[in-house]
Amino acid sequence: MNDTVKNIGLFAIVAALIALVGVQQGWNSALVIMNMGMISAIMAIGVNLQWGFAGLFNVGIMGFVALGGLAAVLVGLPPVKEAWSAGGLGILAGLALGAATIIGAVLVMKRMPRGMVRNLVVTVVLVAGFFIFRAVLDPAVLAVEAVNPALQGNLGGINPGGENYKDFGLIMILAWIFGGVLAAGAAWLIGKTALGLRSDYLAIATLGIAEIIIAVLKNEDWLSRGVKNVVGIPRPVPYEIDLQADPSFVARAASWGFDPVEGSTIYVKLLYFFMFLVVLLLLLWMAQMALKSPWGRMVRAIRDNEVAAEAMGKDVTRRHLQIFVLGSAICGLAGAMMTTVDSQLTPGTYQPLRFTFLIWVMVIVGGSGNNFGAVLGGFLIWYLWVQVEPWGIALMQFVTSGFPEGYWLKDHLMASAAHMRLFTMGLVLLLVLRFSPRGLIPEK
């Protein structure tokens, strides 16, 4: 059995597992798993680019995914005119001053000779800049957040639709790209400061950055409404309600043997399915091309032996920065797609176990260094993540079936069954690392 047959077999098994969900629990459930599986696979491609190709240990994926979600808000929502007139300029000016402070400090660092004087000047620039920044930003933020706080209190986005912004759903495709750009920008800033760090230190640094990004999304109400959440983000596909009211769609659904409700929900998910499929295939093709190109070989050479690659004249720092930005951009893109499917941004739900470490499990289990492996891992692990919960409950029902009703241990076990998924993910990761350390589809 050669590799191609084995790989096709692995993909077929995962497809069959998801199809089984469709037969048993309905095609809506199967399509939900499939769509999130594709988003997970895209994130896994991004992480694989960083870890598998270049050996960069980034555990800040959650931050870039969340930035993608922010992009969906900033593009998808219409601007709040009162908020802009109340404090929009003040916020922009404040942010510009903040950026100027940092640029000023960096310039001083670069231009002045080493010594006490330089440290003193940098400190003065930073402290003074910080207070000016707060003095300009704070009143503007208060003014913006006072505008209709129950529904808005933020600056909104760039959707040109105004009141009817939900008719401009196709703008969300732009939001996906912007999600990638936003994440890339953040990654560039982070990479400039943190990429010089050794692998363990880089891991801790990125872990911290992700927490900071989430803290910003939770607390800066003028930007993303914070923990009040943004709901009603437009979507690039029609709404189920509209489809059900459309006689021609109802007739078409009936001819396929569906009632209008089921038909419309499946139709919407299928539209997402094809959109995501296009993005996934495009990225997969690009990642494959990059891997095979001279650039890909150079990056892997750097990963395997940094010193030797540097001696051959390869610019290690630049390549690392490049890969870090590219991989993070892919994660941001996936984050924007995810927020689009959910139609809402809820900063409180971003948890590192789900959005950073789970993606890592996908890459390691699938096979780091192999794009198809990452995609396979994305689908497989996402399938497990969703399915382990009902399995755990079924298992607990079986285990506790002998106990009388209302017995404390039975109640406790049933309530805790949902936490089985973390345990299972850890187990899968450890088993793969032990018995198939290069993953299901190893790097060639």
Partner 1 sequence: MDPLNALIAVSNYVLIPGIAYGSQLALGALGVTLIYGILRFSNFAHGDTMAFGAMVTILVTWWMQGHGIHLGVLPTALLALPFGILGTMALLLATDRVVYRFYREQKAKPVIMVIVSLGVMFIMNGIVRFIIGVDDQQFADGERFIISARDFKAWTGLEEGLSIRTSQGITFIATIVSVALLFWFLNKTRTGKSMRAYSDNEDLALLSGINPERVVMITWLIVAALCTVAGVLYGLDKTFKPFTYFQLLLPIFAAAIVGGLGNPLGAIAGGFVIAFSEVAVTYAWKKVLGYLAPGGWEPEGLVQLISTDYKFAVSFAILLIVLLFKPTGLFKGKSV
CB of 258 to partner 1, least distance (A): 39
Q: Which is nearer to partner 1, 208 or 238 (CB)?
A: 208
The site map against partner 1 for 54-93 (x = CB under 8 A) is -x-x------------------------------------
By CB under 8 A, the residues from 302 to 361 that bind partner 1 are 351-353, 357, 360-361
| 233 DSSP 8-state letter | -
Told to check if 229 binds partner 1 by CB under 8 A, we report no
Please select the residue that binds partner 1; options are 2, 4, 24, 199, rule is CB under 8 A: 199
Rounded Cα–Cα distance for residues 360 and 356 (Å): 6
Please select the residue that binds partner 1; options are 98, 414, 422, 443, rule is CB under 8 A: 422
Only one of the segments 12-20, 25-33, 207-215, 238-246 lies at the binding site for partner 1 (rule: CB under 8 A); that segment is 207-215
Nearest in space to 287 (alpha carbons), one of 362, 368, 233, 169: 368
Told to check if 419 binds partner 1 by CB under 8 A, we report yes
By CB under 8 A, the residues from 130 to 169 that bind partner 1 are 130
Told to check if 415 binds partner 1 by CB under 8 A, we report yes
Told to check if 122 binds partner 1 by CB under 8 A, we report no
The site map against partner 1 for 362-401 (x = CB under 8 A) is --x-------------------------------------
Rounded Cα–Cα distance for residues 125 and 123 (Å): 5
| 406 DSSP 8-state letter | T
Told to check if 433 binds partner 1 by CB under 8 A, we report yes
Nearest in space to 228 (alpha carbons), one of 241, 218, 213: 218
Q: Which is nearer to partner 1, 293 or 436 (CB)?
A: 436
Rounded Cα–Cα distance for residues 331 and 352 (Å): 14
Give long-range contacts, CB 8 A cutoff, 24+ apart: 249-256. Answer: none
Told to check if 123 binds partner 1 by CB under 8 A, we report no
Rounded Cα–Cα distance for residues 292 and 413 (Å): 50
Told to check if 270 binds partner 1 by CB under 8 A, we report no
Most distant CA atoms of the chain, gap in Å: 80
Only one of the segments 7-15, 176-184, 205-213, 320-328 lies at the binding site for partner 1 (rule: CB under 8 A); that segment is 205-213
Told to check if 424 binds partner 1 by CB under 8 A, we report yes
Strands 230-231 and 344-345: antiparallel
Q: Which is nearer to partner 1, 30 or 61 (CB)?
A: 61
The DSSP result for 305-357, as a single string, is -HHHHHHTT--HHHHHHHHHHHHHHHHHHHHHHHHHHHTEE-GGG--HIIIII
Nearest in space to 182 (alpha carbons), one of 74, 344, 341: 74
* Per-residue CA distances from 213 to 23, 125, 205, 206, 371 (Å): 40, 24, 12, 10, 28
Q: Which is nearer to partner 1, 205 or 330 (CB)?
A: 205
Rounded Cα–Cα distance for residues 157 and 345 (Å): 13
Rounded Cα–Cα distance for residues 172 and 179 (Å): 10
Rounded Cα–Cα distance for residues 222 and 210 (Å): 20
Q: Which is nearer to partner 1, 274 or 408 (CB)?
A: 408
Number of residues that bind partner 1 (CB under 8 A): 44
Q: Which is nearer to partner 1, 97 or 250 (CB)?
A: 97
Please select the residue that binds partner 1; options are 65, 205, 309, 359, rule is CB under 8 A: 205
Told to check if 211 binds partner 1 by CB under 8 A, we report yes
How many secondary structure helices (H) and strands (E) does the chain include? Answer: 20, 2
Told to check if 423 binds partner 1 by CB under 8 A, we report yes
CB of 151 to partner 1, least distance (A): 23
Please select the residue that binds partner 1; options are 429, 439, 440, 441, rule is CB under 8 A: 429
Under 8 Å between Cβ of 90 and 137: yes
Only one of the segments 84-92, 190-198, 232-240, 328-336 lies at the binding site for partner 1 (rule: CB under 8 A); that segment is 190-198
- By CB under 8 A, name the binding residues for partner 1: 55, 57, 130, 193-194, 197-201, 203-205, 207-209, 211-212, 215, 218-219, 351-353, 357, 360-361, 364, 415-416, 419-427, 429-430, 433-434, 437
